[in-house]
Amino acid sequence: GAGVSQSPRYKVAKRGQDVALRCDPISGHVSLFWYQQALGQGPEFLTYFQNEAQLDKSGLPSDRFFAERPEGSVSTLKIQRTQQEDSAVYLCASSLLEYNEQFFGPGTRLTVL
């Protein structure tokens, strides 16, 4: 398929565990965004990549959250020492360039017990 894909679709973690969430953007898309969507809320911006450069990480809620996109395509969002408040759907979106339409992936639903 040509859309944005994310894996895993569901992740259950025990409090204190580390997790890694993967995003495969649309091929050729320069811009990649991560958003966090709490239950019943709109998505909230976490971080932005232009190719491999992380240009904005102002939305990351704590230093336990880390994102990378080393080769300018696939991106990984890592959460260390997960807490219950990290439970949410994590959405990835890509766009051809930074001000174009954003295409969203299906999200990863993270549940921290």
Partner 1 sequence: GENVEQHPSTLSVQEGDSAVIKCTYSDSASNYFPWYKQELGKRPQLIIDIRSNVGEKKDQRIAVTLNKTAKHFSLHITETQPEDSAVYFCAASMTHAGGTSYGKLTFGQGTILTVHP
| Closest approach of partner 1 to the CB of residue 4, in Å | 8
Task: Decide: is 45 part of the binding site for partner 1 (CB under 8 A).
Answer: yes
Task: Decide: is 68 part of the binding site for partner 1 (CB under 8 A).
Answer: no
| Closest approach of partner 1 to the CB of residue 63, in Å | 20
Task: Decide: is 85 part of the binding site for partner 1 (CB under 8 A).
Answer: no
CA angle 103, 104, 105 (to 5 degrees): 130
β-strands 19-24, 31-37: how paired? unpaired
How far from the centroid of its chain's Cα atoms is residue 79's Cα?
10
Please report, in angstroms and rounded to a whole number, the separation of the first and last CA atoms in the chain: 33
Task: Decide: is 2 part of the binding site for partner 1 (CB under 8 A).
Answer: no
**Interacting residues with partner 1 (CB under 8 A):** 4, 31, 33, 35, 40-45, 48, 50, 55-56, 59, 91, 95, 98-107
